[in-house]
Structure 1
């Protein structure tokens, strides 16, 4: 007798809850699930999400603290040296603007404020500006701070930790094999080392991926297991927003059902980690966005670095309509 639809996914959920690692073949089956299995698959992913995180949703807000002016050639990025996209270009924002961003994060009910700067890595002046702002934010506002400033030295990571930064983001973005097709000015290993540097300094590691850059399903599985090995605490799963003027401008969007299968995969492989449905969710998930929170337990609210996000009130309403609850910052 053919097993009932969804029994296999429940087996996967039980494995994840008990921290039994899926095999590579099992993980690939998640991405190859048929469309009529989507709801049972998301139900199984929700069991894992609910076990570790209940029905709470963590909100994050990004501030593009330094825009454009980047010497790297990342093919997905509108701020890279090879991009002709008409994006704003400015140096690191001053302290008052960074503080205003933190206040806006609170207004949006975000628990984590993400200070992101373009470039290979921070200069001494840029690092000092971030340190000064973070110290004041920590002294006056109930927010966790995530910094994303590029490649870090040991000393820079330590200074960010001492200033009060909680988390450091440096995405793997894609698989090791596919990486040279996306970026040539730095390596996959340099990204891994930056995450490890942040961890050694006591910063919570945040590292994720961008789906839809020409990678295979096998490579998506590889990404999920790489982040499990890296032990990233927070995993933003982005879906490519192919921006005109970038080398990847002609890439098509990820189908909404495929995006949901990807989120389920990351939940099964990294069951107790913060999985954030991140950049490109509005474009790729479209009307299926609410289903993403049955696997993911975190969202960005508002705009991204150079692309607009969904109305903040719409995100708040979506969370409420699901019967979920916004998780406020607990320092």
Structure 2
């Protein structure tokens, strides 16, 4: 493989371009593959974009030669196609990186995961995306089945010791379905990275208050410090031992901030790629409170 795609912000950080970026990425985001066999209905891939991010191609050698300590992690995004595992392994083996390497991919065999681990991959994230099997079958096409995704996450946890499931809010799930899948995944030791639906083919993004509530729920579930009450599938009350200070930051692998993956630079920001200012945190909490009643035991 001679060329690899690089997110616009990563290209700027590595000085492959002179583009200005509003927030520097804390992870280097790369992407392998030219055409995806999957035809997921919410995905923009195939037009040089993934979500709202542009991914221009650069020679692999030029990219690898510039990797140094200016970021805390490398994340290799991968399309779904024959030979993807070998392409990822080839790139990782060339890197000789001194920072952790994550791979975002579709489920694959244990043998392939062991191959990637041997090459130097530290953990894998899998884009489950949907909160229920019914929604999965509606949105995700020409990819492995729901059961294969669930098995892939379990295998990734066993092989790497760490695994992340990507979940998109705004695909038609109820609050209860979103909380249930997050609880189930965390019980298995699998982390959850939340994304807001990006309406590239029409439709609307999730209501901000609802998304903030799901972010706070994710954080409380991860810390084991929250209980939830639902009415007809909608989150009605949230009981929190404390309010997570980092609930509204980008969630995912360590050092991941995914600047403006879900939103325009001018906002509104669904996932903050940097520490929130005091007024931003207050606004986020107010947005949650407009959507759901919060009870907290913290002073």
Partner of 2:21: none
Write out per-residue CA displacement over residues 165-214 of structure 1, whole angstroms, 9 at most, x where no aligned residue.
21100022112231101113221111112212222223411112000112
3-state DSSP class of the match of 2:129? coil
CA distance in 2, matches of 1:320, 1:156: 39
**1:119 corresponds to which of 72, 77, 80:** 80
CA distance in 1, matches of 2:101, 2:119: 10
CA distance in 2, matches of 1:177, 1:266: 22
Unaligned runs of 5+ residues in structure 2 are 1-24, 226-242, 280-299
Q: CA deviation at 1:116?
A: 0.8
Partner of 2:286: none
TM-score (norm: length of structure 1): 0.57
Distance 1:254 1:160, change over 3 A: same
Question: Is the 1:61–1:302 Cα contact (8 Å) retained in structure 2?
Answer: no
Q: Within 5 Å, which residues of 2 pair with 1:184-195?
A: 184-185=141-142, 186-195=144-153
TM-score (norm: length of structure 2): 0.62
3-state DSSP class of the match of 1:177? helix
CA distance in 2, matches of 1:75, 1:161: 31
Aligned residues: 225
Matched, 1:157 2:113: yes
Partner of 1:65: 31
Matched, 1:223 2:210: no
Q: CA deviation at 1:90?
A: 8.2
Partner of 1:177: 134
CA distance in 1, matches of 2:28, 2:156: 19
- Bigger helix fraction: 1
CA RMSD after TM alignment: 3.7
Q: CA deviation at 1:96?
A: 3.9
Question: Is the 1:263–1:296 Cα contact (8 Å) retained in structure 2?
Answer: yes
Quick one: higher RCO (CA 8 Å, sep 6+), 1 or 2?
Answer: 1
CA distance in 1, matches of 2:244, 2:210: 11
Unaligned runs of 5+ residues in structure 1 are 1-58, 244-248, 274-290, 324-331
